[in-house]
């Protein structure tokens, strides 16, 4: 596929990133389902087509997720014009079918200062191809060729953004898929670079974990101002007689009153 096509797809993905909303860390297992546009390498000679995918994954840290993804497309091969001498030949039913199973890791750039989480994605897997490229042979038996089938390694790189709808999550993603298929018949091409642009809904499994409440703070340690060992109502800090009950303000017993003087005799 032309470099211009890849650049357009990547720029579109960066534009989608700007519309994403905030994502919080959720470590539940989830299932995903998505669709998008498959932009085939020009050497495949196919029309752009839709793709579908399903996945199973998990956030393993606040910034990293791992997904197993099953991906499929069945793009129509461009119709070829044959000389009139071939007669009325039907070439409309031929397609290039691709089915892959990949492990994909995503790294999210989270920040409290913004309400969306962009990410980069990278993956590797196996891809089965059914190449129905139209070839008309006259020997040994005139007619169209059978589809070329096989399995090869596929890798992918992408960018995207994920935001939280409450339930579920939503991803937008664009990128390139590197197909190591080298049996296409083009001596100058031993692989294909396809583009993709799509979305995926993420459905967490089970109830979301509720964070444990913080522990109750320990009561403050008591001081002499909180203690009254002799129970006289004067705290230990102010009590100058802590071993015996007394009275305020110093906590010591009140002094005994002096006896009244004896009455003086009456002298008439």
Same domain for 110 and 228, yes or no, is no
Contact assessment for residue 228 and residue 239, using Cβ atoms and an 8 Å cutoff: yes
- Whether 12 is in a domain gets the answer yes
Contact assessment for residue 138 and residue 103, using Cβ atoms and an 8 Å cutoff: no
Number of Cβ atoms within 10 Å of the Cβ of 238: 14
Taking residues 77-103, report their average pLDDT: 73
Bridge-based pairing of strands 192-204 and 95-108 is: unpaired
Contact assessment for residue 205 and residue 28, using Cβ atoms and an 8 Å cutoff: yes
C-alpha 263/C-alpha 152 separation (Å) is 128
For the whole model, what pTM was predicted?
Answer: 0.66
Bridge-based pairing of strands 136-137 and 148-164 is: unpaired
C-alpha 161/C-alpha 197 separation (Å) is 12
Q: For residues 208 and 138, which has the higher predicted lDDT (pLDDT)? A: 208
Write the pLDDT tens digit of every residue in 142-196. 666 678 999 999 999 999 999 888 889 999 999 999 999 987 655 556 799 999 9
C-alpha 211/C-alpha 216 separation (Å) is 15
- The rounded mean pLDDT for the chain is 80
Phi, psi values for residue 225, rounded to 5°: -70, -20
- Whether 263 is in a domain gets the answer no
- Whether 212 is in a domain gets the answer no
| DSSP type of residue 3 | H
Tokens for 229?
């060992």
- Whether 129 is in a domain gets the answer yes
Same domain for 229 and 146, yes or no, is no
pLDDT of residue 19: 36
Indicate the pLDDT class of residue 223, thresholds 50, 70 and 90.
confident
Q: What are the residues whose beta carbons fall under 8 Å from the beta carbon of 78, sequence distance 6 or more? A: 45, 46, 47
| DSSP type of residue 188 | T
Rama region for 225: left / alpha / beta (φ>0; ψ in -120 to 50; rest): alpha
Same domain for 156 and 184, yes or no, is yes
Counting beta carbons within 10 angstroms of the beta carbon of residue 22, is it exposed (0 to 12), middle (13 to 18) or buried (19 or more)? middle
Taking residues 201-215, report their average pLDDT: 85
Same domain for 120 and 247, yes or no, is no
Same domain for 181 and 97, yes or no, is yes
Task: Give the CATH number of the domain where residue 104 resides.
Answer: 2.40.160.20
Same domain for 83 and 171, yes or no, is yes
C-alpha 219/C-alpha 53 separation (Å) is 56
Q: What's the angle, vertex CA 157, arms to CA 62 and CA 12, rounded to 5?
A: 95
Same domain for 193 and 237, yes or no, is no
Same domain for 180 and 240, yes or no, is no
Q: For residues 142 and 98, which has the higher predicted lDDT (pLDDT)? A: 98
Of 61-65, 83-87, 208-212, 221-225, the one with minimum mean pLDDT is: 83-87
Same domain for 243 and 167, yes or no, is no
pLDDT for 8 beyond 70:
no
Contact assessment for residue 33 and residue 53, using Cβ atoms and an 8 Å cutoff: yes
- Whether 262 is in a domain gets the answer no
C-alpha distances in angstroms, 216 versus 209, 212, 226?
21, 12, 22
Of 1-5, 127-131, 175-179, the one with minimum mean pLDDT is: 1-5
The rounded percent of the chain whose pLDDT value lies above 90 is: 44
- Whether 209 is in a domain gets the answer no
C-alpha 212/C-alpha 129 separation (Å) is 50
Domain that holds residue 247: 222-252
pLDDT of residue 217: 87
Cα–Cα nearest to 41, from 196, 198, 197 = 196
Query: Count of domains in the chain?
Result: 2
Q: For residues 115 and 128, which has the higher predicted lDDT (pLDDT)? A: 128
Q: For residues 141 and 71, which has the higher predicted lDDT (pLDDT)? A: 71
Same domain for 160 and 248, yes or no, is no
- Whether 267 is in a domain gets the answer no
Same domain for 128 and 247, yes or no, is no
- Whether 213 is in a domain gets the answer no
Same domain for 44 and 135, yes or no, is yes
């Amino acid at each position: 596929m032309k470099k211009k096509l890849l650049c357009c797809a990547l720029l579109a993905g960066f534009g989608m990133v700007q519309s994403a909303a905030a994502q919080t860390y959720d470590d539940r297992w989830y299932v995903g389902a998505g669709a998008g546009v498959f932009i085939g390498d020009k050497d495949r000679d196919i029309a752009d087509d839709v793709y579908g995918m399903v996945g199973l994954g998990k956030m393993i840290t606040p910034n990293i997720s791992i997904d197993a993804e099953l991906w499929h497309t069945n793009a129509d091969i461009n119709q070829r014009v044959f000389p009139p001498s071939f007669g009325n030949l039907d070439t409309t039913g031929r397609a290039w079918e691709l089915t892959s199973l990949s492990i994909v890791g995503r790294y999210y750039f989270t920040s409290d200062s913004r309400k969306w989480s962009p990410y980069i994605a990278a993956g590797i897997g196996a891809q089965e191809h059914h190449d129905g490229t139209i070839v008309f042979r006259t020997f040994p038996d005139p007619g169209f060729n059978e589809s070329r089938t096989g399995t090869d390694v596929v890798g992918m790189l992408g960018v995207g953004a994920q935001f939280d709808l409450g339930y579920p999550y939503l991803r937008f993603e664009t990128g390139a898929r590197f197909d190591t298929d080298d049996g296409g018949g083009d001596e100058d091409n031993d692989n294909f670079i396809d583009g993709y642009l799509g979305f995926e809904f993420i459905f967490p499994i089970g109830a979301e974990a509720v964070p444990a409440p913080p522990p109750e703070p320990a009561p403050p340690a008591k001081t002499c101002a909180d203690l009254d060992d002799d129970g006289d109502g004067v705290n230990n800090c102010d009590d100058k007689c802590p071993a015996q009950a007394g009275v305020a303000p110093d906590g010591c017993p009140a002094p005994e009153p002096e006896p009244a003087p004896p009455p003086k005799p009456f002298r008439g």
